[in-house]
Amino acid sequence: MLNKKLMVVALVMAFPVGAMAAGAAAPDASGGCGVGSKLFENQRGVAPQVLAMTTNGIAQQTFAVSSGTSGCSQDGVVKSNWKTSMFIDGNKTKLARDMSTGSGEALESLAKLIGIQDQHKAAFFQATKDNFSRIFAADNVTTDQVVASLKQVLASDSELAPYSNSI
Amino acid sequence: MPGRWILLLIISWLPLVVFANDNAYLHELVGQAREKNLAQRAEWLNLLHYKPYVYGTGMRSLADDPAFFNAPDGKTDAAAELEATLAVFFSTAEETDKVQNPQCRFIARYHWLKEELHFDPARLPEQPCRRFYQWRASLDPNEITLVFPAAYLNNPASMYGHTLLRIDAKDQDERTRLLAYSISYAAGTDETSGLIFAVRGLFGGYPGVFAITPYYLKVREYSDIENRDVWEYQLTLTPSEIDRLLMHTWELGPTHFDYYFFDENCAYHLLSLLEVARPGLKLTDRFRWWAIPSDTVRAVAEQSGLVKRVVYRPATATIIRRRLADMEDRQSGLARGLAERKMSAADDRLHELPLQEQARILELAYDYATYRSASGRDTTTPAQTHELLLARSRLEVPPQRPEVPVPAVRPDQGHKTSRLALGLGSRGGRRFEEIDLRPTYHDLMDDDGGYTRGAQIEFFNMRWRHYRGDDSLRLEELTPLNIVSLSPRDDFFTPVSWKINIGWTRKHFADNDEPLIFRASGGPGLAFNMPGTHEGKSVYYGYLEAALDAGKRFDRDYAVGAGPVAGWLTDISDRWRINLYARSLRYGLGEAHNARELTLEQRYSLSQQSALHLRLHRKQEFQDYRNAAEISLQYYY
């Protein structure tokens, strides 16, 4: 126990400023599904670095195991009707990057969630790249807008039209 | 709070009261369990997290939540807990969204006891446990992967890092691993002050809980935001082992453990999950005091046949460095100009290049812009990065993402984290022998294989010395904390290096006395790669250091000083590293004096776990200069 106390003193001396400035990512107040984007609002600069050393992360109530129903999750697992939109919400920047080159694991994962079959994957990737300016029409598109425009893009593509209802 | 406790007690006792007297089958089961001595079996002890006391005899469960136990003295009495658990399994309570039937609440215990005692479903009906099976079905488990994010740039403390388990689904592959779930163990709190969190976390002030999180959120946290390379160890757990692991995770879900940063941390608890999954694994025994994540990874990798495959995932910053290495300066300059908004994506300097080069530059510019924004130096607006992506999407060129070579040494293959050194030397004409013990973890002179270059973190380093002719060994140094970050700057990455050192050391006073004094020192610095070198293989650096010395020997008991440190850290070969530095501190407050030193350190690796260390040293404190030379043999264990 002595060692632990010494360490606390040492750590607090070492990182007073950082520690004060640190803010843990608070759980989404609404308990809803905006988790993906809300989670990281405070994760910039010194704060996450200090947190990373002092903790092994802070548990989000939403993802607590066997906790019953909470917003968009059941016992910690995202409900199936939320899966795609929550994925898009949590990976918007990555998806934008991937769609700009028509490749990448975020885009692969999205294809999987929508249920795109292997023979249609290349077309799907190409369609997102060709229509990047429609899907990410502005720098600050919302998740809903991305979902809506992606639906339209798929619907207007003869090969991919059947998938437009699976988003 | 007390109300809840009483309720819990009543709930856990009810079935006992109801059934204990008239349930013949329960009596039979208890008899069999006693006969087979089930309560002392490793499986049961693991499921309840019983651990022997470090001091003294007997054991107790690490779980601190009364609801985790069915017997009132379940925390310390494994047999009573087993019998009480059998009793509650007779409950016929209906499952609701918040309350479970005990068979489901303790589903791993139920299945183990059912197997061992061959429950008769006619006399002990099995509950459907719909919530658990639904949960398991949505996870669709196929494989378990141990995930270890390495330390990140300019934060040696993050070497202490995290580990987590990933549940890979049946229809998931390497490309869609983002869709997996991760099991992590974390402090459950809404506390938003980092300082309070740190202090309370260390003392076990927060309950630790298991959480199951979409893996993409973890990847975003580690790989994208914190810029840590991630190592994924795919394990060979069989379907029934995975089942046990999930059942036990479920059981632990609502249970809290006091959370200690140092020992009962995430790494420790994840190992205990693996012990439940595969009976016979002994992973946690060696971690009574320290559970360093990289050591826990090592413990897993050392188990024969437990690791199937290791996958390396480079962080965004690593990919940027790779892109830069493949690019000419003029092109990377354009990428930087784009990322820093000094030029637009419509610029002619970009458009006159071949399409493929344009694509490479735009991709690098985007990666770099998001890196800057994630690291807090946000000068790039979303509109700017959006313009880069838009321009990139218009180029009909395949993706230009580079293949990042996998580091030759994995985190589980580097030097071990404790180090013992035995040395011989001479100082000011006096010969001495020395013993140096570093409980943990890595310093700038150690081989970096499996570690992050330029990141030093040591806890409780101790050094004793015996001078020829003296009767006793004397403590030279005790350093509870010693962190150095040495991060070279370049056009793209501009970290500020820093160091902090807190402990007790000997100081040579004007009257030749050398008492032990307390010292806290540290400061910011800058480091640069030597021209023509990269990846920190040869770095020159300077720090501005401040020091507070305190002790009875000083006038007014203290001295505060400041001054520069300058040095050069370079690899001569894979085995041979040198660090040459000079320091000059002027103590102006308290007792005024000067302290200067010039040091040449050399390390030559003899093997993965041993090295020869040579130190030449010229030092002045107060008046006299003294020379010292020391050679030591270092052994990692």
Together in a domain, B150 and B180: yes
Point out the domain boundary residue: B290, B313, B336: B313
pLDDT score at B265: 63
Count how many pairs of residues, chain A against chain B, have C-beta atoms within 8 Å: 272
Please indicate, yes or no, if residue B319 is contained in any of the structural domains: no
- Tell me if chain A has a CB within 8 Å of the CB of B405: no
Sign of CA dihedral B176, B181, B186, B190: positive
Residue in chain B lying closest to A54 (CA)? B198
Please indicate, yes or no, if residue B560 is contained in any of the structural domains: yes
Together in a domain, B7 and B74: yes
- Tell me if chain A has a CB within 8 Å of the CB of B379: no
Please indicate, yes or no, if residue B404 is contained in any of the structural domains: no
Residue from the list B214, B265, B400 with its beta carbon closest to the beta carbon of A78: B214
User: Count of H helices and E strands in chain B?
Assistant: 17, 23
User: Angle of helix B194-202 relative to helix A46-54, nearest 10 degrees?
Assistant: 10
CA distance B162 to A147: 34
CA of A55 vs chain B CAs: smallest distance (Å): 7
Report the 10 Å Cβ neighbour count for B553: 17
Together in a domain, B365 and B287: no
CA of B468 vs chain A CAs: smallest distance (Å): 32
Q: How far is CA B339 from the centre of its chain?
A: 32
pLDDT score at B569: 97
pLDDT score at A15: 35
Please indicate, yes or no, if residue B559 is contained in any of the structural domains: yes
Together in a domain, B356 and B478: no
**CB distance B197–A75 less than 8 Å?**
no
Exposed e or buried b per residue across B540-552, where buried means at least 16 C-beta atoms within 10 angstroms of its C-beta: bbbbebebbbbbe
B212 neighbourhood in chain A, CB within 8 Å: 63-65, 76-77
Please indicate, yes or no, if residue B409 is contained in any of the structural domains: no
**Strands of the B207-214 sheet, one edge to the other:** B257-258, B207-214, B181-187, B164-169, B141-149, B230-235, B307-313
Together in a domain, B435 and B357: no
**CB distance A35–B480 less than 8 Å?**
no
Which among B96, B212, B313, B518 is the top mutation candidate for probing chain A, defined by the most A β-carbons within 10 Å of its own β-carbon?
Answer: B212
Pairing of strands B516-529, B538-550: antiparallel
- Tell me if chain A has a CB within 8 Å of the CB of B481: yes
Report the 10 Å Cβ neighbour count for B98: 9
A44 neighbourhood in chain B, CB within 8 Å: 225, 374-376, 378
Q: Which of residues 506-535 of B touch A (CB under 8 A)?
A: 520, 522
pTM of the model: 0.84
Give, in order, the Cα–Cα distances in Å from B562 to each of B121, B565, B580, B596.
Answer: 77, 10, 20, 11
**CB distance A101–B392 less than 8 Å?**
yes
Together in a domain, B357 and B464: no
Beta strands in B263-342 (DSSP E): 307-313
B213 neighbourhood in chain A, CB within 8 Å: 60, 63, 76
Residue A19 has pLDDT above 70, yes or no: no
CA of B220 vs chain A CAs: smallest distance (Å): 8
Residue from the list B197, B460, B522 with its beta carbon closest to the beta carbon of A3: B460
Please indicate, yes or no, if residue B321 is contained in any of the structural domains: no
pLDDT score at B199: 57
Residue A23 has pLDDT above 60, yes or no: no
**Average pLDDT of chain A, as a whole number:** 69
CA of A18 vs chain B CAs: smallest distance (Å): 8
CA distance B270 to B266: 6
For residue B167, what is the DSSP state? Answer: E
A116 neighbourhood in chain B, CB within 8 Å: none
Label each residue of B263-284 as H, E or C.
Answer: CCCHHHHHHHHHHHHCCCCCCC
- Tell me if chain A has a CB within 8 Å of the CB of B188: yes
**CB distance A50–B134 less than 8 Å?**
no
Task: Tell me how many domains chain B contains.
Answer: 4
Mean pLDDT by 10 residues, chain B (637 residues): 49 49 85 95 93 78 88 94 96 88 95 96 93 93 92 63 86 90 73 53 63 84 77 95 94 74 66 89 70 80 92 90 90 93 91 95 93 70 83 94 92 92 94 94 92 88 94 94 91 90 94 93 95 84 97 93 97 95 95 95 96 96 91 96
**CB distance B214–A129 less than 8 Å?**
no
Q: pLDDT tier at A76 (50, 70, 90 boundaries)?
A: confident
Q: Which has more confidence, A57 or B459?
A: B459
A24 neighbourhood in chain B, CB within 8 Å: 189-192, 194, 197
Together in a domain, B526 and B622: yes
- Tell me if chain A has a CB within 8 Å of the CB of B179: yes
Residue from the list B97, B185, B393 with its beta carbon closest to the beta carbon of A133: B393
Pairing of strands B488-489, B516-529: parallel
Together in a domain, B113 and B204: no
Together in a domain, B535 and B590: yes
Pairing of strands B59-61, B141-149: unpaired
**CB distance B217–A90 less than 8 Å?**
yes
Which among B389, B392, B458 is the top mutation candidate for probing chain A, defined by the most A β-carbons within 10 Å of its own β-carbon?
Answer: B389
B261 neighbourhood in chain A, CB within 8 Å: 54-55
Together in a domain, B354 and B499: no
At B438 the three-state DSSP class reads: strand
A112 neighbourhood in chain B, CB within 8 Å: 171-172, 176, 179
Give, in order, the Cα–Cα distances in Å from B578 to each of B482, B604, B618, B625.
Answer: 19, 9, 16, 23
Can you name the residues that pair with B616 across neighbouring β-strands? B600, B629
**CB distance B184–A43 less than 8 Å?**
no
- Tell me if chain A has a CB within 8 Å of the CB of B224: yes
Please indicate, yes or no, if residue B403 is contained in any of the structural domains: no
Report the 10 Å Cβ neighbour count for B334: 24
Residue in chain B lying closest to A55 (CA)? B261
User: Which residue in B496, B497, B476, B495 sits closest to B486, CA to CA?
Assistant: B497
Please indicate, yes or no, if residue B122 is contained in any of the structural domains: yes
- Tell me if chain A has a CB within 8 Å of the CB of B215: no
Together in a domain, B385 and B306: no
Q: How far is CA A167 from the centre of its chain?
A: 16
Residue from the list B138, B201, B211 with its beta carbon closest to the beta carbon of A65: B211
Q: How far is CA B297 from the centre of its chain?
A: 10
B203 neighbourhood in chain A, CB within 8 Å: 4, 8
Residue from the list B172, B216, B390 with its beta carbon closest to the beta carbon of A90: B216
Domain around B389 = 327-393
- Tell me if chain A has a CB within 8 Å of the CB of B429: no
B400 neighbourhood in chain A, CB within 8 Å: 101
Q: What is the CATH number of the domain that holds B531?
A: 2.40.160.40
A129 neighbourhood in chain B, CB within 8 Å: 393
Point out the domain boundary residue: B105, B128, B151: B128
A91 neighbourhood in chain B, CB within 8 Å: 178, 216, 220
Residue from the list A22, A66, A101 with its beta carbon closest to the beta carbon of B254: A66
CA distance B43 to B52: 15
pLDDT score at B494: 87
- Tell me if chain A has a CB within 8 Å of the CB of B290: no
Point out the domain boundary residue: B111, B128, B145: B128
**CB distance B249–A65 less than 8 Å?**
yes
A19 neighbourhood in chain B, CB within 8 Å: 193-195, 198
Together in a domain, B382 and B262: no
